[in-house]
Amino acid sequence: MTTKAFESLLALITETSTNLPPDVRRAIKRAQLEEELGTRASIALNTIVDNIVSAEEDVQPICQDTGMPTFIVHCPVGFNQIAFEREIEAAVREATKLGKLRPNSVDPLTGKNTGDNLGEGTPVVHFHQWERDQVEVKLILKGGGCENKNIQYALPTELPGLGRAGRDLDGIRKCILHAVYQAQGQGCSAGFIGVGIGGDRTTGYELAKEQLFRSLDDVNPNPQLAELEDYILDKANQLEIGTMGFGGKVTLLGCKIGVRNRIPASFYVSVAYNCWAFRRLGVVLDPATGEIRHWLYRDNEEKLERPTHAFATDSAIVLEAPISEEQIRKLKVGDVVLIRGEMHTGRDEIHKYLMKHDAPVDLSGGVLYHCGPVMLKDDDGTWHVKAAGPTTSSREEPYQADIIEKFGIRAVIGKGGMGEKTLQGLKKSGAVYLNAIGGAAQYYAKCVKRVNGVDFLEQFGVPEAMWHLEVEGFPAIVTMDAHGNSLHKDVADESLVKLEDLKEPVFV
Ligand code: SF4
């Protein structure tokens, strides 16, 4: 027998995971209009919009990485917080069972995934009391790709491209610009940032994350911070990192800054980076019944139109595994490819494993997909892909070149690009790196026609297992080729030059 509170919390989790709020949709729509049709940034944004529409229609996760579910609860004095936390846990368990959340709770020492998103410290729940007769629950699902791009600065400091950042507003300005620059496309730009000025190392980050709960349309009540927010939004876009780090006019979609007192010895600027899949929602509940009184962040409805064509697939090059070295060496940065046939997922655990062991299947000429999907199993034992976008590839940088060479892999798909060692490895072994559109989990799930099998499911859990997926018309862009070219390196170099142009003091 479920309670009303459980049902309300399950609805909150489901809606947060599958249906982006109107303010975020408006920001993405504006970006879509900014980019010229046919450019890589425009292709990426159209794919993102297509994905948002599908996720809402099918009530499936917008992105496969549903992050660390974080609840902020405000409740009246005397409200039973212990019982309410149990309701949250039950709703999280059920949402995971239904495939609205990916099982993401992992023991850091054993690597064991609990399978239901419950475990030591997960989900995160913060309670605050207030003098109102209502319970407010806000939820954010922030994935690992963008969480890994959070950054904290202790002032004074030296910053690449910007020089000395002092203990003043101009030093803060430089830190925030640098935070956007260092994220490049790895946090699935175009992104949003929450900034915390002051506090200590812990509360600075808390303050930064709190800013992500502000509406994108609000105006900072502190005029100095309001001016800084506008400045950052304008200048960060001049870095031209673009959506997915492909280059383009839109890099940042929102900037919110908060301030908290510090102690004299410490001066922190903490930045929480959130990807375009900015999943945060809230509900106000009746404290007695647990029923939803109203939703938060849903002021005006904002519909997005499904684009007619995300990728221009008519001129795309079809790749079917096993792929020959000759085919791969003909590819160059910027080519759009369509993959058909079998690909194999592999992320952190698989890469570590393959360094020392044989692969469970023949990978020669094969396609390796950096992806941790959301999967559901039918009663008859058949697996279905519920969400399957790419994960951040840079984590595999220490292993990738060796694994490509050892197993004869011809194509690696991921997002955010890889480094110099992989680039040299691609050249040596005759392989390419393909960038899929980060977060487009529904778009890519639709390309999977069948699940051929899975290895290491028990050992590593759903996201880290090796899934063998039969795909058709899976589009991606060559961003690192076998001739030593890397779009990611080019964009990083060019944006550093643009960052240097912003070196001169502005807030003195
Ligand atoms: S959109 Fe990208 S950064 Fe955001 S959760 Fe998904 S994979 Fe991670």
Interval 17-52: pLDDT, tens? 999 999 999 999 999 999 999 899 999 999 999 999
Instruction: Please report the atom of ligand 1 found closest to the CA of residue 63.
Output: 6
Residue 40 corresponds to which tokens in the numbers above?
Answer: 């890589």
pLDDT, position 460? 95
Residue ranges of E strands in 211-353:
252-260, 268-274, 279-285, 292-296, 317-320, 336-345
Query: Does the structure show a pLDDT above 90 at 299?
Result: no
Reported as a single tens digit per residue, the pLDDT across 255-282 is 999 999 999 999 999 999 999 999 999 9
Residue 66 Cα: closest atom of ligand 1: 5
Indicate which atom in ligand 1 lies nearest the CA of residue 391: 7
Report the nearest atom of ligand 1 relative to the CA of 277: 1
- Centre of ligand 1 to C-alpha 23, Å, is 18
Q: How far apart are CA 253 and CA 193, in angstroms?
A: 8
Q: Which of 49, 60, 146 to mutate to test the pocket of ligand 1 (most atoms within 8 A of CB)?
A: 146
> CA 179, CA 198: separation in Å to the nearest integer?
16
Residue 311: pLDDT band (50, 70, 90) is confident
Q: Which of 63, 101, 189 to mutate to test the pocket of ligand 1 (most atoms within 8 A of CB)?
A: 63
Q: Is 352 left (phi over 0), alpha (psi -120 to 50) or beta?
A: alpha
Residue 247: left (phi > 0), alpha (psi -120 to 50), or beta? left
Label residues 192-208 b or e (16+ Cβ within 10 Å = b). bbbbbbbbeeebbbbbb
User: Predicted confidence band at 446 (pLDDT cuts at 50, 70, 90)?
Assistant: very high
Say how many Å lie between the CA of residue 319 and the centre of ligand 1: 26
Max CA distance (Å), the chain: 71
Nearest ligand 1 atom to alpha carbon 187: 3
CA-nearest residue, atom 5 of ligand 1: 143
The H-or-E segment that residue 46 falls in is helix 40-58
Q: To the nearest whole number, what is the mean pLDDT of the chain?
A: 96
Nearest CA to ligand 1 atom 6: 439
Residues with CB under 6 A from ligand 1: 63, 65, 143-146, 187-188, 275, 277, 389, 391, 438-439
Mutate to test the pocket of ligand 1, among 45, 65, 371 (most ligand atoms within 8 A of CB): 65
Q: What is the pLDDT of residue 301?
A: 87
Both tokens assigned to 472: 């058709």
What sign does the CA torsion over 188, 346, 388, 148 have? negative
Query: Cα(454) to centroid of ligand 1, in Å?
Result: 23
Nearest CA to ligand 1 atom 3: 145
The model carries a pTM of 0.95
- pLDDT, tens only, 92-127: 999 999 999 999 999 999 999 999 999 999 999 999
Ligand 1 atom closest to the Cα of residue 146 is: 3
